[in-house]
C-alpha cells in the first residue's frame, strides 16, 4: 500500500517538475544598450509599465548606478 502511494507521489512530482514553467523571477535578465540621447526615464518607459520612477530605481539598483546618468553604448541589465 505504501509503495503504491510512494510511486504515485513520485510520478506526480516528476511530471510536475517536467511541465512546471518558470516565473523567471531569477531567470535571465534582459540587457539593453543605451542609445544616443537615451535617459533612464526613456528606457524605463520603453520596457516597463506602471510607475516609471519605480522602474528607474530598480534599474539603478540592478546596475549599481550612483544616479540616473547614463551614456551611449553603456549596457544595462533590466531586472
The answer to whether residue 3 is domain-embedded is no
Per-residue pLDDT tens over the stretch 25-75 = 566 689 999 999 999 999 999 999 889 999 999 999 999 999 989 999 999
Instruction: Provide the residue range defining the domain that includes 30.
Output: 25-79
The answer to whether residue 16 is domain-embedded is no
Residue with grid cell 533590466, as numbered in its chain = 78
The conformation of residue 55, written as its DSSP 8-state character, comes to H
For residue 74, give the CATH number of its domain: 3.10.350
Helix (H) or strand (E) holding 30: strand 30-33
Say how many domains are in the chain.
Answer: 1
Query: Is 17 buried (19+), middle (13-18) or exposed (0-12) by CB count in 10 A?
Result: exposed
| Per-residue pLDDT at 22 | 46
* Gyration radius from the chain CA atoms: 21
| Per-residue pLDDT at 10 | 67
The answer to whether residue 1 is domain-embedded is no
pTM (predicted TM-score): 0.63
Amino acid at each position: 500500500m505504501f509503495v503504491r502511494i510512494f510511486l504515485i507521489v513520485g510520478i506526480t512530482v516528476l511530471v510536475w517538475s517536467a511541465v512546471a514553467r518558470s516565473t523567471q523571477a531569477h531567470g535571465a535578465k534582459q540587457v539593453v544598450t543605451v542609445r544616443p540621447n537615451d535617459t533612464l526615464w526613456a528606457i524605463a518607459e520603453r520596457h516597463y509599465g506602471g510607475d516609471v520612477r519605480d522602474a528607474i530605481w530598480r534599474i539603478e539598483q540592478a546596475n549599481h548606478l550612483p544616479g540616473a546618468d547614463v551614456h551611449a553604448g553603456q549596457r544595462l541589465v533590466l531586472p
